[in-house]
Amino acid sequence: MKTPTLTVSDILKRKHFEHVEVVAGHNGLNRTVKWVHVVEVAKIHHLLNGKELILSTGVGWKENKELFRSFVEQLIDCDASGLCIEIGMHTPSVPQEVIDLANAHHFPIILFLKEVPFVEITQDIHTYLINQHYEIISGLESYSQQLNKKLLSMDHYSEILKLLHHYSGHQVIFKINGREVEVFPKYSKTFKEEQLIVGDNVASKKKVATQPIQFLGNEYAELSIVSTGKEISEFDLLILDRTATALAQHLLRDLYVDEKKRVEENEWLKSWLEGEHPIESVFSYLAEYGAEPNPKGGTVLVVRFKSSMKQCSNLDMIYFKVLCRTIFEQQGFSTFPVDFHSSIVFIMINNREMKTWKSRMKIGLNSLLESDYIHKEEIASICCRGRKIYRKCFSYGQKLSDGFRDDQNSTSSWRQS
């Protein structure tokens, strides 16, 4: 579905625009128009909201070049869509310096070569815009229904990205923190050229829109649409927002299901801490759950609760694990939680450079401590201990599982007063 939008170029094809001349800003004719104003005063910046097409006879500045230039500068600063001037007694011509200014900012200046009824122009365009608004509401409702159907039946979030592209007609860019950027549809050019195209469009705020995807108080991913033609429309922004919400629901559901599956494998992880699995089995397990094939070390995070795990809601504990996972994945760690009597031990596999693991772990711990969950679930303390991942570290894990003794090798610790 094409996004309903009205541009300066579209308006030039409408009634009363048969005898016009575009004297400046030809490259800005694809600017979006949201309203039309008739303006006959020189000071206008406080009266505009942006995206307005201005109609004027020029009585506000007459033949004063400085006032005329100031007027156009205000329109540009307010992100107006363009200026239509009726050539006549008040404005016989447009000064070259004003034309140069408009061209530099791709701001259209259009001259009516014959007298036109401004009231009929505004009535015609406003009627079109109001009908367009109803079209947007109808299109958004249709899109939401399609989105809900996808959420119930799809297996992978790529189907949502395809739907967004189909409705908007724009390039879709999706990035989960810590993972590669996904672009849909794929460019037919080389990857380097793709990056240049995306980068150029991102630099233009009018042709790119981005929506962060958050859950459990943290930004998990980012969704963007990039236009290679018209500016991003209001409809585009609305469906982008709906899509981001749907993706958040889908991703959170997947994380929850995956974490619940891991809970069922709690005994295997406990036996790993006890040193009962060969190193080949450990690496096979890590690879199955998304860790790097050759991990660069790791650490153990111990979270102690004031009450036993049995007294805590199972649902809340799973969401707490999802929270930790989303926070530390962004810092380059794969998390593997193990439940004990009143604690959760997180085996943290480092997937990035060894020299930065401490700083990244501290960033993750600070994010965890700043979340409301710390106070809600009555966590007594959190401590972190780092070790390389070799078989000899499993005996250290056994000490943790038996007594969780504090020592001076803790990288970071926190205790609730």
Is residue 273 domain-shared with residue 205, that is, in the same domain?
Answer: no
Give residue 318's pLDDT.
76
pLDDT digits (tens, 9 = 90+) for 361-403: 889 888 888 877 665 556 777 887 644 332 333 333 333 333 3
Is residue 274 domain-shared with residue 215, that is, in the same domain?
Answer: no
Give residue 53's pLDDT.
95
Whole-number Cα distances in Å, 399 to 94, 227, 352, 379, 402: 84, 57, 27, 21, 5
Give residue 126's pLDDT.
93
> Which residue range(s) make up the domain with 112?
8-123
Residue 25's Cβ-count burial label (10 Å; 0-12, 13-18, 19+) is: buried
**pTM of the model as a whole:** 0.52
Query: Per-residue pLDDT averaged across 324-329, rounded?
Result: 88
Find the Cα–Cα–Cα–Cα dihedral 232, 234, 235, 240, rounded to 10°.
Answer: 70
Residue 3 lies inside a defined structural domain of this protein: no
Is residue 38 domain-shared with residue 61, that is, in the same domain?
Answer: yes
Give residue 410's pLDDT.
44
- Both tokens of 82, joined, read 């363009």
pLDDT at 139 over 70: yes
pLDDT at 23 over 80: yes
Is residue 107 domain-shared with residue 180, that is, in the same domain?
Answer: no
pLDDT at 3 over 60: no
User: Phi, psi (5° rounding) for residue 111?
Assistant: -105, 130
Overall number of domains in the chain: 3
d(CA 191, CA 376): 46
Is residue 252 domain-shared with residue 271, that is, in the same domain?
Answer: no
Higher pLDDT, 159 or 229: 159
d(CA 202, CA 207): 7
Residue 15: give its domain's CATH number: 3.40.1390.20
Whole-number Cα distances in Å, 413 to 107, 108, 341, 362, 398: 58, 61, 20, 10, 20
d(CA 90, CA 60): 9
pLDDT at 123 over 60: yes
Is residue 69 domain-shared with residue 162, that is, in the same domain?
Answer: no
For the chain, give the percent of residues with pLDDT over 90: 26
Is residue 282 domain-shared with residue 406, that is, in the same domain?
Answer: yes
Q: Out of 75-84, 210-219, 338-347, which region has the weakest mean confidence (pLDDT)?
A: 210-219
Beta bridge mates, 305? 379
pLDDT digits (tens, 9 = 90+) for 185-236: 876 444 344 444 444 444 455 688 999 988 766 788 899 999 877 778 888 8
pLDDT digits (tens, 9 = 90+) for 286-324: 777 767 767 788 888 888 887 766 666 555 777 788 888
- For residue 411, give the amino acid letter: T
For the chain, give the percent of residues with pLDDT over 70: 80
Task: Pick the last residue of a domain from 223, 258, 293.
Answer: 258
Residue 177: give its domain's CATH number: 3.30.450.40
Give residue 200's pLDDT.
46
Residue 387: give its domain's CATH number: 3.30.70
Give residue 385's pLDDT.
66
Our measurement of the distance from residue 279's CA atom to the centroid of its chain's CA atoms, rounded to an integer in Å, reads 40
Residue whose tokens read 């505009």? 48
pLDDT digits (tens, 9 = 90+) for 91-104: 788 899 999 999 99
Judge whether 214 and 248 are in contact, CB under 8 Å.
yes
Handedness of CA 247, 252, 257, 259 (dihedral sign): positive
